[in-house]
């Protein structure tokens, strides 16, 4: 079988250097909804080719019968030849591939100039959909689940866009974003954010702010900080108005909420880092009971975490994000080229959120993050996308933070307390989260992992010790005021090994004090 690296995707670069237009190509496991997606595209007026139907014409019999007579190996060889040529010759339209077609190196190479859309489906849901069918690879559940696990990394590596398992209406709504993706710059990838109150495309990649494209047609207003506005304000024009605030957490207050003459038919562009994203989202959510917002994150912490999921908020003197609402963006445009203008210490601060997300995700993302030698836009683009994708998947299951979404607070309970105890002035957000992660891992009794994370943080210039003079009692008191406390007290997210976060964990007060004091 093919490795993930062989014949990897070239994103959009080769699409813009081909004589023929790229096709939208649906890939995914059995039961993911590829035929449903193809039907939706056909209903929208696009030409559609279903690869398996084409193969059956060529074979002169159903694929199921060919499998039984000639076996999978011969089928894969014929599939590689026929589908490879189909993709090489395709000029626009839509192609629906069989689930195992991605094993072919020729097919993977041919996919490089197309918009490859992975329709995700869990092994359990896929089995529910196909069990009892005549599919030759869906007769044994254990083997079925092995195939699902085997193919997942290949699909992820090839994908330019990732969607939840398709239904026809969803695909109709997503198609405009998929068509736009074919025209966007080299390296652009898209994940579809979807939760209880709405859905939106999240585009991640270099050069997005240079593209002549915007996701909404209504009049735009902007909010940014004074530094980012000078750097990138022109890139989000035309704006009917722009509000700028001073950089930093101290700008994230109710006093700064000003929409400069918007109407309910307009939308807001939140251009900047996490502070601007939170403030802009809060303004959009509350202005005339809600207007649309496009998040344009320009810092690493915002591109991997805060721009997604719809949490908005401003600070009170007592604690961070004490006033806020949930308000999903209409789109996220994360241009990773903007990371090149960040000071090294700001880039490092954002890396703390990358480490947090990788610890939650585990697996390949944790391995890649642990192996990063240098932080720069070129080697962070795919990491940023996978962090965004991880957060979107968590939020999809729990938008309102009543269950699984709490795992995203790993390291944040102590981290936010450190920020509050030091007046939001001594530490950047990511620096405080780096310290909070180490405290959380100590509370998780994960000493070896804590040492590994501390070494990783140190290698990228993040603190692993509190500055002298930080009041430990003030930090503990700030933890006890955490906005997520319940009648039972403050609960923590703990993690003994990457990929296995545990939310809602009670912590002994003595253990908490020891974990914070260790940071000295």
pLDDT digits (tens, 9 = 90+) for 269-307: 999 999 899 989 998 998 888 899 999 999 999 999 999
Q: What integer best gives the mean pLDDT of the chain? A: 90
Q: Is the pLDDT of residue 396 over 90?
A: no
296 strand-pairing partners: 271
- Count CA within 13 A, CB hemisphere, residue 153: 12
Locate 464 and state its tokens: 């692993």
Top-confidence residue, 333 or 376: 333
For the segment(s) 14-183, the CATH number from 3.20.20.70, 1.10.1060.10, 3.90.76.10, 3.40.50.300 is 3.40.50.300
CA atoms of 240 and 85, how far apart (whole Å): 49
CA atoms of 492 and 140, how far apart (whole Å): 40
Q: Is the pLDDT of residue 488 over 90?
A: no
Tens of pLDDT, residue by residue over 37-49, are 999 999 999 999 9
pLDDT at 4: 46
Of all residues in the chain, the percent with pLDDT exceeding 70 is 91
Quote the Cα angle for 434-439-440, to 5°.
95
Would you place residue 64 in the very low, low, confident or very high pLDDT band (cuts 50, 70, 90)?
confident
Alpha-helical (H) ranges within 226-376 are 226-232, 274-286, 300-301, 344-361, 363-370
Task: Among 70-79, 189-198, 202-211, 311-320, name the most confident range.
Answer: 202-211
| Cβ within 8 Å of residue 337, ≥6 positions away | 206, 207, 208, 209, 210, 377
Q: Tell me, which fold does domain 194-353+367-382 have in CATH?
A: Rossmann fold (3.40.50)
Long-range contacts made by residues 40-45, C-beta under 8 angstroms, separation at least 24? 40/166, 40/168, 40/169, 40/170, 40/171, 40/172, 40/175, 41/94, 41/171, 41/175, 42/94, 43/168, 43/172, 44/172, 44/175
CA atoms of 218 and 267, how far apart (whole Å): 7
Would you place residue 316 in the very low, low, confident or very high pLDDT band (cuts 50, 70, 90)?
low
Locate 482 and state its tokens: 């955490």
Q: Is the pLDDT of residue 17 over 60?
A: no
CB 358 within 8 A of CB 366: yes
Label the pairing between strands 198-205 and 492-495: unpaired
Percent of residues in the chain assigned helix, strand, coil, to nearest 5: 50, 15, 35
Tens of pLDDT, residue by residue over 72-128, are 899 999 999 999 999 999 999 999 999 999 999 999 999 999 999 999 999 999 999
Of 276, 281, 269, 274, residue with least CA distance to 312: 281
CA atoms of 390 and 356, how far apart (whole Å): 11
Q: Is the pLDDT of residue 27 over 80?
A: yes
Query: Picking from 306-320, 411-425, 467-481, which range would have the lowest pLDDT averaged per residue?
Result: 306-320
DSSP tag of 84: H
pLDDT at 1: 44
State the DSSP H helix or E strand holding residue 245, giving kind and residue range, or none if neither: strand 242-245
Would you place residue 13 in the very low, low, confident or very high pLDDT band (cuts 50, 70, 90)?
very low
pLDDT at 286: 86
Mean per-residue pLDDT for 223-230? 95
CA atoms of 260 and 471, how far apart (whole Å): 41
Q: Is the pLDDT of residue 7 over 90?
A: no
Q: Is the pLDDT of residue 319 over 60?
A: no
CA atoms of 135 and 193, how far apart (whole Å): 31
CA atoms of 457 and 281, how far apart (whole Å): 30
pLDDT at 404: 87
Locate 394 and state its tokens: 């968590």
CB 221 within 8 A of CB 244: no
Q: How far apart are the first and last CA of the chain?
A: 50
Same fold, 14-183 and 194-353+367-382: yes
Would you place residue 11 in the very low, low, confident or very high pLDDT band (cuts 50, 70, 90)?
very low
Question: How many Cβ atoms are within 10 Å of 465's Cβ, its own excluded?
Answer: 13
pLDDT at 143: 94
Of all residues in the chain, the percent with pLDDT exceeding 90 is 72
Q: Tell me, which fold does domain 410-518 have in CATH?
A: Dehydroquinate synthase-like, alpha domain (1.20.1090)
pLDDT at 15: 55
Tens of pLDDT, residue by residue over 158-172, are 999 999 866 788 999
Locate 215 and state its tokens: 């996701």
Would you place residue 441 in the very low, low, confident or very high pLDDT band (cuts 50, 70, 90)?
very high
CA atoms of 412 and 421, how far apart (whole Å): 14
CA atoms of 374 and 497, how far apart (whole Å): 24
Query: Rounded to the nearest 10 degrees, what angle do helices 51-59 and 63-70 cross at?
Result: 60
Would you place residue 247 in the very low, low, confident or very high pLDDT band (cuts 50, 70, 90)?
confident
The domains of the chain are located at 14-183, 194-353+367-382, 410-518
Would you place residue 6 in the very low, low, confident or very high pLDDT band (cuts 50, 70, 90)?
very low
Mean per-residue pLDDT for 129-145? 91
pLDDT at 324: 75
Mean per-residue pLDDT for 135-151? 93
């Amino acid at each position: 079988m093919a490795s993930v690296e062989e014949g990897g995707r070239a994103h959009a670069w080769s699409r813009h250097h081909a004589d023929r237009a790229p096709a939208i190509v649906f890939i995914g496991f059995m039961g993911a909804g590829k035929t449903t997606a193809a039907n939706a595209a056909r209903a929208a007026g696009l030409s559609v080719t279903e690869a398996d139907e084409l193969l059956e014409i060529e074979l002169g019999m159903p694929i199921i019968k060919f499998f039984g007579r000639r076996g999978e190996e011969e089928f894969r060889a014929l599939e590689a030849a026929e589908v490879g040529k189909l993709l090489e010759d395709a000029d626009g339209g839509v192609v629906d591939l069989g689930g195992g077609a991605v094993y072919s190196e020729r097919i993977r190479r041919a996919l490089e100039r197309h918009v490859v859309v992975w329709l995700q489906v869990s092994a359990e849901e896929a089995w529910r959909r196909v069990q009892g069918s005549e599919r030759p690879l869906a007769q044994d559940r254990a083997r079925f689940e092995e195939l699902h696990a085997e193919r997942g990394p290949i699909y992820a590596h090839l994908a330019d866009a990732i969607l939840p398992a398709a239904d026809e209406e969803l695909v109709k709504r997503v198609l405009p974003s998929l068509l736009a993706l074919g025209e966007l710059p080299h390296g652009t990838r898209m994940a579809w954010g979807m939760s209880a109150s709405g859905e939106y495309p999240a585009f991640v990649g270099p050069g997005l702010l240079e593209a002549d494209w915007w996701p909404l047609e209504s009049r735009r207003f902007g909010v940014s900080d004074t530094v980012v506005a000078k750097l990138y304000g022109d890139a989000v024009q035309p704006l009917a108005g722009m509000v700028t605030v001073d950089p930093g957490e101290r700008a994230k207050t109710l006093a700064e909420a000003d929409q400069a003459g918007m109407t309910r038919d307009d939308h807001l562009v939140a251009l900047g880092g996490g502070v601007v994203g939170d403030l802009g989202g809060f303004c959009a959510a509350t202005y005339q009971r809600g207007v649309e917002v496009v998040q344009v994150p320009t810092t690493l912490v915002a591109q991997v975490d805060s721009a997604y999921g719809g949490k908005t908020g401003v600070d009170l003197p007592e604690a961070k994000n004490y006033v806020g609402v949930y308000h999903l963006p209409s789109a996220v445009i994360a241009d990773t080229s903007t990371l090149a203008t960040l000071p090294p210490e700001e880039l490092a601060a954002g890396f703390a959120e990358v480490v947090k997300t990788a610890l939650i995700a585990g697996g390949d993302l944790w391995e890649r993050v642990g192996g990063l030698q240098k932080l720069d836009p070129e080697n962070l683009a795919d990491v940023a996308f996978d962090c965004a994708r991880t957060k979107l998947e968590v939020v999809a299951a729990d938008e309102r933070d009543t269950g699984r979404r709490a795992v995203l607070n790993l390291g944040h309970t102590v981290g936010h307390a450190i920020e509050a105890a030091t007046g939001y002035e001594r530490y950047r957000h990511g620096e405080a989260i780096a310290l909070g992660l180490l405290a959380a891992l100590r509370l998780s009794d994960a000493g070896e992992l804590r040492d590994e994370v501390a070494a990783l943080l140190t290698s990228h210039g993040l603190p692993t010790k509190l500055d002298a003079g930080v009041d430990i009692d003030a930090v503990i008191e700030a933890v006890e005021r955490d906005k997520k406390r319940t009648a039972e007290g403050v609960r923590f997210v703990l993690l003994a090994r990457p990929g296995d976060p545990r939310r809602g964990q009670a912590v002994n007060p003595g253990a908490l004090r020891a974990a914070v004091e260790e940071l000295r």
